[in-house]
Structure formats: C-alpha cells, structure tokens
Amino acid sequence: MENIAEKLGDINQTLEKQYEVVKQMLEIMPRPDSKFITTLQTVVLIIGALGFINLVEVIIKWIGG
C-alpha cells in the first residue's frame, strides 16, 4: 500500500509540473483578437486608403488646373 501511495504522489507531482508548464505557455501565447477589433481595424484601413486616394486626387487637380 505504501508503494501505491508513493507512486500516486509521484503522479500528482508530475501532473502539477505539467499544469505549471501549460499555464506558462498560455500566459506567453497571444490571445486572438475579437471580431469587433478585427472589423474595426479593417474599417480604419479602408478609410485611410480612401483618404490617401482623395489626397492624391486633390494634388492632381492642383497640378492639372
């Protein structure tokens, strides 16, 4: 019986070590962005591109007359 208790104790310690390793891995890994943030980034990118196109158009009109 003592032998079984020792083996169970060893298994418990191994599981605790594995839990700590997995916990550290999850803390290091970046969390995925939410759909709202991804959508907001896409909208801002499109608005920025349209603003740049508008700026180029204004400069062309100034040069062209």
Segment 32-61, tens digit of pLDDT: 789 999 999 999 999 999 999 999 999 999
- What is d(CA 18, CA 32) in angstroms, rounded to the nearest whole number? 24
Determine the pLDDT at residue 42: 96
Determine the pLDDT at residue 31: 82
Determine the pLDDT at residue 56: 92
Q: What is the mean pLDDT of residues 17-31?
A: 90
The pLDDT confidence band at residue 2, using thresholds 50, 70 and 90, is confident
